Amino acid sequence: MANLRQASLRHANLALVARTVLAADTPPSRADVAAATSLTRSTVSRLVDELVAGGILDEVESVVGGPGRPGRPATPLRASRARVAALGLQVGVGQLAARLVDLSGAVLAERLVTADLAGSRPGPVLRRLRTLATRVLDATPDGCRVVGAGLALPGIVDVAAGRLLSAPNLGWEDVTPAPGLAAALGDLALRVGNEADLAAHAYAHPAPGRDREPRDFLYLSGEVGIGGAVVVDGEVMAGRHGWAGEIGHVCVDPDGPPCRCGSTGCLEQYAGRLALLDAAGLDPSTSPAELARRARDGDEQARAATRSAGRALGVALSGVVNVLDIPTVVLGGHLAMVGDLLAPEVEEILGRRVLSARWVTPRVVIADVDPAPGATGAALLALDRVVSDPVAHLS
Q: In whole angstroms, what is the distance from residue 46 CA to residue 25 CA?
A: 23
Cβ(147)–Cβ(202) under 8 Å? no
Q: In whole angstroms, what is the distance from residue 301 CA to residue 304 CA?
A: 5
Instruction: Report H helices in the chain.
Output: 2-23, 30-37, 41-53, 122-138, 178-185, 195-204, 268-271, 273-279, 288-296, 300-324, 334-337, 339-353, 373-388
Q: In whole angstroms, what is the distance from residue 101 CA to residue 112 CA?
A: 14
CA-closest candidate to residue 335, choices 222, 225, 232, 179: 222
Q: How large is the average pLDDT for residues 117-121?
A: 95
Cβ(216)–Cβ(229) under 8 Å? no
Q: How large is the average pLDDT for residues 98-113?
A: 98
Confidence (pLDDT) at 238: 85
Band of residue 394 on the pLDDT scale cut at 50, 70, 90: confident
**Model confidence pLDDT, tens digit, residues 31-79:** 999 999 999 999 999 999 999 999 999 999 876 555 555 555 689 999 9
**Dihedral (CA of 312, 314, 315, 319) sign:** positive
Band of residue 332 on the pLDDT scale cut at 50, 70, 90: very high
pTM of model > 0.85? yes
Q: In whole angstroms, what is the distance from residue 206 CA to residue 105 CA?
A: 6
Q: How large is the average pLDDT for residues 91-103?
A: 96
**Model confidence pLDDT, tens digit, residues 192-208:** 999 999 999 999 999 99
Q: In whole angstroms, what is the distance from residue 175 CA to residue 177 CA?
A: 6
Query: What is the CATH number assigned to the segment(s) 6-62+70-79?
Result: 1.10.10.10
**Model confidence pLDDT, tens digit, residues 123-141:** 999 999 999 999 999 999 9
**Model confidence pLDDT, tens digit, residues 13-23:** 999 999 999 99
Cβ(144)–Cβ(80) under 8 Å? no
Instruction: Report H helices in 178-284.
Output: 178-185, 195-204, 268-271, 273-279
Neighbours of 315 (CB within 10 A): 19
Which residue ranges does the chain devote to CATH 3.30.420.40? 84-202+373-393, 211-366
Helix-strand-coil split of the chain, %, nearest 5 = 45, 25, 35
List all residues 6 or more positions away from 302 whose beta carbon is below 8 Å from its beta carbon. Answer: 280, 282, 291, 294, 295
Q: How large is the average pLDDT for residues 258-285?
A: 93
Helix (H, G, I), strand (E, B) or coil at 205: coil
Over 70: is that where the pLDDT of 265 sits? yes
| CA-based R_g, the chain, Å | 23
Q: How large is the average pLDDT for residues 96-105?
A: 98
Over 60: is that where the pLDDT of 11 sits? yes
Cβ(36)–Cβ(57) under 8 Å? no
Residue that wins the pLDDT comparison between 347 and 392: 347
Band of residue 239 on the pLDDT scale cut at 50, 70, 90: confident
Query: What is the CATH number assigned to the segment(s) 211-366?
Result: 3.30.420.40
CA-closest candidate to residue 204, choices 215, 193, 192: 215
Which residue ranges does the chain devote to CATH 1.10.10.10? 6-62+70-79
Q: Residue 317 burial (CB < 10 Å; 0-12/13-18/19+)?
A: buried
Confidence (pLDDT) at 71: 52
* Backbone dihedral angles phi then psi of residue 52, each to the nearest 5 degrees: -70, -45
Express as a percent the part of the chain with pLDDT over 70.
95
Cβ(197)–Cβ(221) under 8 Å? no
Confidence (pLDDT) at 38: 96
Helix (H, G, I), strand (E, B) or coil at 35: helix
Band of residue 269 on the pLDDT scale cut at 50, 70, 90: very high
Over 80: is that where the pLDDT of 2 sits? no
Confidence (pLDDT) at 76: 96
Confidence (pLDDT) at 244: 86
Over 80: is that where the pLDDT of 106 sits? yes
Highest CATH level, class, for 84-202+373-393: alpha beta
Query: Nearest-5° angle of CA 155, CA 161, CA 163?
Result: 30
Q: How large is the average pLDDT for residues 7-28?
A: 93
Confidence (pLDDT) at 365: 97
Confidence (pLDDT) at 261: 87
Band of residue 181 on the pLDDT scale cut at 50, 70, 90: very high
Query: Nearest-5° angle of CA 208, CA 214, CA 220?
Result: 90
